[in-house]
Amino acid sequence: MSNPKRNALGRGLSALLENASTDVTTSEHRPSNTTNEILISQIEANPFQPRTEFEERALNELAESIKVHGIIQPITVRKMGYDTYQIISGERRTRASIIAGLVKIPAYVRVANDQEMLEMALIENIQREELNPIEISLSYKRLIDECSLKQDELGERVGKNRTTVNNYLRLLKLPDSVQLALKEKAISMGHARAIINVEDPKKQEWMLEQMLADELSVRDVESLARQENMLVSKKVEKPLAQKKSETLVEFQLTLSDKFDTKILIKADDKGRGAIKIPFRSQADLQRILDLMRV
């Protein structure tokens, strides 16, 4: 016999909230669109909140909007005791409301245990559009580790297939430098997925350097990853190819120092290639030409 609560969880956050829709202030079942005005001073943060950093500028912009339009979407809380509530979802809206000077905030009051609270918070967090891939990956991992979910079950919770979930989880195996670049949007999810196909962490970091220096596309990185994997299978050729790549990087650094600009060097397997020397103005170009004449 199927578990009704488990089936509800499988439909995502909205089903979770709907399943926990008892309003404990009256001990009655209220419609899901019924809200209460709650004193912000009675609301405490969610200890399961996956996101701990909130951009100050975005919060201030939201606060200004709240001053003009009010709270468009009520927050969701659970009642902890007499006049005490804990946020299930909507901490950003609550913080912005405090900045806007609000005393009360509209809220849905729900009943939820700690397990449901964690799932609700994580799923609500995942559904936010501005999350970077690493934040999503960490939320997936918490759902698996702390809620004892399998990847298939997790996929049902967040509306993703197993392959997508696995691709996100694999990102957490990348070196810290690559994860940071992905988090800061210096590279895309496609770049990261291409890098992860190379097993050696040092090679992954080297590929990141090449990617940033040469502004490589996802297709370029995929090609580079294939080349690296081919070199692994041909151990005799690997040291020579690696030495050539390292030599090019050294040339780039040497020329960049000499001309005081970021020099880019590209070369194929036969040693043929090109040198790209960027300049910021006509005067900068003249400076570089003068250096070349020396």
Provide the annotated active-site residues.
91
The one-letter code for the residue type at 241 is: A
Q: Measured between alpha carbons, how far is 144 from 142 in angstroms, rounded to an integer? A: 5
29: left (phi over 0), alpha (psi -120 to 50) or beta: beta
Spatial contact of 156 and 143, defined as CB atoms under 8 Å apart: no
Spatial contact of 117 and 46, defined as CB atoms under 8 Å apart: yes
CA distances from 143 to 19, 72, 83 (A): 19, 29, 30
For residues 100, 104, 110, 113, the Cα torsion angle rounded to the nearest 10 degrees is 70
Sheet with strand 104-110: strands edge to edge: 36-39, 104-110, 75-81, 84-89, 43-44
Spatial contact of 136 and 129, defined as CB atoms under 8 Å apart: no
